[in-house]
Each structure stands twice: as structure tokens, then as C-alpha cells.
Chains A and B, each alone.
Chain A
Amino acid sequence: MPGWATASELAGRLRSRELGCVELTRETLNRIEEDPGGLGAFLSSDRGEALRAAEEAQRMLDAGTAGPLTGVPLAVKDNICVAEGVTTAGSRLLENFVSPYDATVIEKCREAGMVIVGKTNLDEFGMGSSNENSAFGPVRNPWNPALTAGGSSGGSAAAVAAGIVPLSLGSDTGGSIRFPAALCGIVGFKPTYGRVSRRGLVAFASSLDQIGPFARSVEDAALLAHTISGDDPREARMRTEAPISLGGLRDRPLSGLRLAWPQQLAGPEVQPSIRATFEVAISRLIEAGCTCEEVDLPMIRHGVSTYYIIAPSEASSNLARYDGIRFGRQVEGTDHVATVAKTRGALLGHEVKLRIIAGTYALSAGYHDAYFAKAQRVRQRMTLEMDEVLAQYDLIVSPTSPVVAFPIGSAEMDHLTLKQLDLCTIPANLGGYPSLSLPCGLAEGLPVGLGLTAQRGMDESLLAAAWSMEQELGSVMPPSDAGGVR
């Protein structure tokens, strides 16, 4: 299997019988077991179940009932439930937790004949930007294994970037799909809040969490987004019953596309080399017919602060369920309260405990109005400002990440610095907007992501614009002679 074949190419070869589903699945499982480059991208893989799914996919192909992704291997972030498999969420507390049911996105992928080949590494409960908060070790970047793959969906990003799988699923609460996608040089897409069901996703911050795809091309990302989106009567926050449509994906010319570049996302936080690559990409898009204007979005500069009040507050509530009584491991105490406190104290990681305490503090009597209530008002104001800009422009653009991939264990990346790396991705979560990271070139020999954000519900327009930009900008691939893994 060519490591860099896209899912669309692989699906075509499966349909033409040039390749068999079982053969493709077996090769993929072998790659997962080999763990090329020692990336640490996968936490588990069920060979027997994957081969059974591949046989079923082959039957669909033989019967002529195959869809566009039938037989294509899929890796799944280990905070998305896959029935009868372990779902750890990157935590010691859940290392033996067996999912009692499939998440809705998994049900939809199975119906489409996709083959789930493994669960991928992540920052514990999705909390982190470098995958160093996983209880099971960090994920290394296929471009250079000494560097981080980004987080929190680091395993899903590295698995696609290394050519182990063509597609994967991640979750994005403050940039956890788009940030690692940018650091690994692939496409990462966070759909509009409410267009993809979160049922079966281990909840972090419920007003922000969204499941989405990683892919090597925009077309592949659109195919997987189409597959996982749409109606779910068991998800209360679905925005529409309609799945993300594939019609018109190739019909959005760059000519006349109006881009807005917030100056608040162009400050000194952005590395000069990133800014230079980003500006070259924007120049090429302008030459191809786009317009790009600098805009003022004053509230965006408060995005990270707002996020680090709201997300921990919601997490402190969501993670209260991990009591060591109903599921997960338990550390016994003298009574009920002591057992719960000992279990959580011993088995949750440092960053998760920090955020739970921060959220509990921000919600507690005497501080609620100063922190949580104020943050919610800032969030609404920021959303209003972004709505106004998106009424005049098609897309908000910025670098996805202000930095290129950085060394694992970097002393410069303390917990505060890491949190500020999400400054360009967080606004889309706070407003519920669809947002995508598209590879747009290299800086210091490493990939740079172009962040694109559209109005809520305009997922199709965003994907179509990204597809046209991809034709103009091309993709980036890890050099085989630079220590990277193909």
C-alpha cells in the first residue's frame, strides 16, 4: 500500500478490485504493530474485529452496495466509544473501561463500510496541545520524531501524516484537531457545533466539543465529514438533520472569495517564519483571485482567557462522573467521599486535576460572577463581532498555529505557554463555527497550517473553498530523507 495514497484513491482501487479489503486492512494492521518511527500514535488495535469488518466491506463491494469509503481503514481517537473495545481517553482512570456501545459517528462509519483499525493516543481527556499529557506517553511527529505531533488528537494526526491510515477521527474543544493537523502537515476539520453528533464522545467541555476528520486531502476530509454528520435523535444539540453535503465541493472558484485576516491573530505571538509562510500563501491566493483584507476583532484577544475559564468549568462538571464507583479503577478509602477523592487524586493526571480545580474555583460561590459569568458575556460579544465580519467576508483566515512543531519535553513550553498556542483556533470553538486547517507550506522545514473559519452552518462552502485553495497551494509531505516516516 502506498503510504501516501488518499482515501479516495484507495476506495477507487478497492472498487476496481485492484486491491482487496482484507489485504488493505492486514497491511494497515501490520503498520500499526510495527509503529514506524516509534511514534506512539496508537493505544490499541483489535485485529480480529478489523478483519471481520474488512470481510463485510468486501461483501458490500461484491454486492454493489458500497459507498465512497467502503473498505477504507479508519483510526479513532481513544475518547470516542467503539463497542466492546477499551476507551481510555488517555487516562489511567479509564485504562480498563470497555465501551458498552458505539458512538454515533462510529455507527455511521460502520454503516458506510469503513474498517476501524485502532484507537489513537491523546492528551488525557483531550486536555493539552502537545500530547504530553497522555498517561500512555507522548506522540511523536512523523516529520521529526524528536518533535511533538501536537494535541490533543496527536495520535490521530500522526497516524495519517505517517501514512499508517488514510483517515482518522479526532475531537476539537479548543483546536485539538486543527492544531496537530497543522503541526503534522495534513488537513484537519472541525465542523459546525451541532452538525456531528457527540453521543459516545467522552465529554470534556460540552458547549465546545466537536468530532471531526483528519485526512491527507480536503476531498477525503469532506467524504468523512459527510459520513459522520447528520441526524441523531439521541443528541440534543443537533443543528440540522442534513449531513454535510458533497455537492459543489469542486465548484467554488477562488476568484471573488473574500478573506478577512484579524490583526489580533498577527501579533508577536506568531513566529516570524510562520507569518512569512502564511503571507506567501495568502499572496498566492490573491493572485488566484481572492481578496484579503485586515480586519479588527477586538474581543478575539480575550479568546484564550475566556476559554480557560469556560472549558475548565464545564470539565469540572463533566468529569465529576469519574468516581471509581460505576466505572474505571478504584482506590479504596475509609468511606464513600474518601474513596472518590483517593481514586481521582491517584488516577487523574496533573493537567486534568489542575483544570478541574480551576473550573471548580471559577464556579464556586463568590467567584462565579467574576469568572464564569463574565467569560460567558465576553464569549457572546466575541461571537457577535465574528458574525459581523462573516456577514461581509466568506472566511476568516490566520495561521492555525503560531509555532511550528516543537521538541517533546521542551522547557520553553511550560503549562501557560502551551495554553496560549491555541489563540488562533479557540475562537471557532467559542462561536461554534466550522473551521479547517489546510497545509500551506513549510517554515524551518516543518509544515504550516492555514486556518480557515466560516459562518455557522456553512461547512460545505468552507470545504469547497479549502478544496480550491488546496489545488492552488498543493500539499506538503514529510521528506523521506529527513528522519521522517512515510
Chain B
Amino acid sequence: MAWMSISIEEVLEAAKLARLELAEDELVQFQGELDALLGHFRDFQNLSDTEVLDALGAELPFNVWAPDLVASSLGQAFALRNAPRTRAGLFIVPTVLED
């Protein structure tokens, strides 16, 4: 796959998906750095599928299951103590939907 430069719009979209507000000058800097990062670290994309698919026998990712048991948890007071804003034993979440 030929390397294509990352556009400002793509950086903006990724930042939006990642919930990161970036200043205008930051956006330009990230475009350059992200382009260099992903562009530089793309060498494995030149490997053919036959080179990388022949990996039978390697320790493949596997899921880990735990029994679904009721157990003690953190507790409300502990869960809330690090929150910036709480009220009546609840987290205060800024408005999600308008009236």
C-alpha cells in the first residue's frame, strides 16, 4: 500500500473521535508529527501476506474468561472521592442532551 500523507481533516477527525480538543497551531504540529510517525513506521506494510500469515504455532491472542461471581467492589465513597464534581452520592455529568 503506497503511503499517503495524512491531511489536517484526518487529524481533526481522529482527535474528535478521541475526544481531544486541539488548538489550531497544535493541529498543524500534530499533522506533521503524525505523518512522520505513521509514515516512518509503515515498513511492515511492504510485507506480503504470505510472509506474515505463515505464523501458525505462534502464541496467538486468546480470550480469558473469569467466573461471573458477585464480589465486593470499590464502594460508593471510594468511587466518588476522586471525582471533580459530585452531588448526593452521584457524579455530576455536564449536559448531554438539551431540553
Q: Which residues of A contact B (CB under 8 A)?
A: 96-98, 100-101, 207, 236-237, 301-302, 304-306, 308-309, 316, 320, 323-330, 332-342, 344-346, 348, 353-354, 356-362, 364, 370-371, 374-378, 380-381, 383-384, 387, 415-416, 419, 431-432, 456
Contact = CB atoms under 8 A, between A and B. Distances in A.
18 contacts: A100-B78, A100-B79, A302-B44, A320-B19, A325-B83, A328-B82, A329-B84, A332-B94, A336-B94, A345-B20, A357-B34, A361-B10, A370-B45, A374-B52, A380-B55, A380-B59, A416-B36, A419-B41
A336 B18 contact: no
Interface of B: 1, 6, 10-11, 13-23, 30, 33-34, 36-38, 40-45, 47, 51-61, 64, 66, 74, 78-79, 81-85, 91-96
Contacts of B57: 384, 387
A341 B55 contact: no
A336 B47 CA distance: 43
A342 B95 CA distance: 15
A325 B6 CA distance: 32
B18 A383 contact: no
Nearest to A323: B19
A456 B61 contact: no
A155 B74 CA distance: 30
B12 to A, nearest CB: 10
B37 to A, nearest CB: 6
Contacts of B34: 354, 357-358, 361
Nearest to A353: B20
Query: Chain A's interface: helix, strand, loop or mixed, by majority?
Result: helix
A358 B37 contact: yes
A308 B37 contact: yes
A98 B37 contact: no
A376 B15 CA distance: 24
Contact of A304 (B15, B33, B41, B54): B41
Contacts of B79: 100, 326
Enumerate the 10 nearest inter-chain pairs by beta-carbon distance, A residue then B residue, closest first: A345-B21, A327-B82, A384-B58, A330-B84, A305-B41, A380-B55, A341-B21, A377-B52, A100-B78, A380-B58
A378 B38 CA distance: 16
B18 A356 contact: yes
Contacts of A381: 51-52, 54-55, 58
Contacts of B23: 345
B95 A335 contact: yes
Contact of A302 (B43, B59, B74): B43
Contact of B38 (A98, A237, A361, A431): A361
B45 to A, nearest CB: 6
A417 B81 CA distance: 41
Contact of A335 (B16, B78, B94): B94
A236 B68 CA distance: 13
A432 to B, nearest CB: 7
B14 A342 contact: no
Contact of B21 (A101, A207, A309, A342): A342
B22 A364 contact: no
Contact of A341 (B11, B20, B56): B20
Contacts of B78: 100-101
Nearest to B43: A305
The winner among B1, B33, B91 for most chain A CB atoms within 10 A is B33
Contacts of A383: 55, 58-59
Nearest to A301: B43
Contacts of A456: 59
A335 B21 CA distance: 13
Contacts of B38: 358, 361-362, 371
Contacts of B14: 357, 360-361, 364
A316 B16 CA distance: 12
Contacts of A370: 1, 45
Nearest to A341: B21
Nearest to A420: B40
A326 B20 contact: no
Nearest to A359: B18
A267 B17 CA distance: 39
Given A326-B79, A357-B14, A357-B20, 9 more contacts: A98-B82, A237-B64, A305-B42, A305-B44, A325-B93, A353-B22, A374-B47, A378-B47, A383-B58
B83 to A, nearest CB: 6
The winner among B45, B56, B58 for most chain A CB atoms within 10 A is B58
B18 A374 contact: no
A304 B43 CA distance: 10
Contacts of B10: 361
Contacts of B43: 301-302, 305
Contacts of A330: 84-85
A326 B82 contact: yes
Nearest to A97: B82
A417 to B, nearest CB: 10
Contact of B15 (A327, A357, A380, A432): A357
Contacts of A357: 11, 14-15, 18, 20, 30, 34
Contacts of B19: 320, 323, 337, 340-341, 344
A309 B41 contact: yes
B33 A375 contact: no
A378 B11 contact: no
